Amino acid sequence: MIYRGMQKNKPVRLQKAIADLGVCSRRRAEILIQEGKVRVNGKVITQMGVKVDPRSDEIQVVGKAYGAQKQEKVYYLFYKPKNTVSTLSDPEGRPCLTDHVKYLKTRVYPIGRLDFESEGLMILTNDGALTQKITHPSSGIHKTYDVTVDQAVTQEKLQCLKEGAVVEGKKVVPVSCEWSALRYPEGRRPEGSRFLKFVLQDGRKREIRVICENNGFKVTRLVRVAIGKIELRNLRSGELKQVDSQTILPLF
């Protein structure tokens, strides 16, 4: 299957060309190149640094095709349901994003991920450049989570949660951790609530769950309610909503 460059341009790095085509993120493209799953003009490319002309070179990527015309960039807000893998396929056969986007005319990819047990807001797009911006550590985009734990959190324990934990060998600290104002009117929130609001920046794998478990709490529900200024609002579980680029711009 062949992807053809769609606009006159100076040579660009292969992984960037693949991302700009909306195939996947630049980071994922680099992995595919290293695995020998990308060809340029029929030749397998496994080294980083190869440059291509997006108009004349033929780029072949593991059997996925988009055609020869530049695709319009599309953006969707998606409420990932609980117990759904936040990728387009799963070797274990679990429910995944493809079950929700297979009817779309344009192939889209998730920006970032949510744990299998977690639910909430994700952004899906074919805009590789946007994916790179949002996932890069320098983006500084905060993500907000509504978290329910199995027992009341005292002021003392809340302070412990704010101190973070070691996740994947690295000490991480949330941007903030407070009792959630989503569940109680202002001024009526009791101390010892089971409902928490976490704000993260990078968001390492299972970060919130590890922080809670290290302090004796089990997370019973975890919902991402915002990415930057983009909020989940009234989206229902499994619902997909197309938005324009102006909706995404507030992220930056």
Q: Is 115 one of the catalytic residues?
A: yes
Phi and psi angles of residue 18, each rounded to the nearest 5 degrees, phi first: -65, -45
Catalytic residue among 90, 99, 115, 146: 115
CB 117 within 8 A of CB 145: no
pLDDT value for 112: 84
DSSP letter at 8?
-
Averaged pLDDT of the chain: 83
Provide the 10 A C-beta neighbour count for residue 146: 20
How does residue 6 score in pLDDT terms, banded at 50, 70 and 90?
Answer: very low
Dig out the tokens for 77 from the structure: 């807000």
DSSP letter at 96?
B
DSSP letter string over 11-27?
-EEHHHHHHHTTSS-HH
Dig out the tokens for 102 from the structure: 């297979």
Give the separation between CA 135 and CA 65, rounded to whole angstroms.
Answer: 24
Q: Same topology for domains 75-137+231-251 and 142-227, yes or no?
A: yes
What is the residue whose two structure tokens read 């893998």? Answer: 85
Q: Could you tell me what percent of the chain has a pLDDT over 90?
A: 44
How does residue 186 score in pLDDT terms, banded at 50, 70 and 90?
Answer: low
- Across the range 169-178, mean pLDDT stands at 92
- Across the range 17-31, mean pLDDT stands at 84
Q: Tens digits of per-residue pLDDT, 54-74?
A: 665 678 888 664 433 456 789
**Amino acid code (one letter) for 107:** R
Q: Is the pLDDT of residue 176 over 60?
A: yes
Q: Domain coordinates of the chain in residue numbers?
A: 2-61, 75-137+231-251, 142-227
Dig out the tokens for 218 from the structure: 């089990």
Question: Under CATH, domain 2-61 is a member of which superfamily?
Answer: RNA-binding S4 domain (3.10.290.10)
Q: Is the pLDDT of residue 243 over 70?
A: yes
Least confident residue range of 43-57, 59-73, 95-109? 59-73
Instruction: Determine whether domain 75-137+231-251 maps to CATH 3.20.190.10.
Output: no
pLDDT value for 7: 40
Give the separation between CA 22 and CA 70, rounded to whole angstroms.
Answer: 10
Question: Under CATH, domain 142-227 is a member of which superfamily?
Answer: Alpha-L RNA-binding motif (3.30.70.1560)
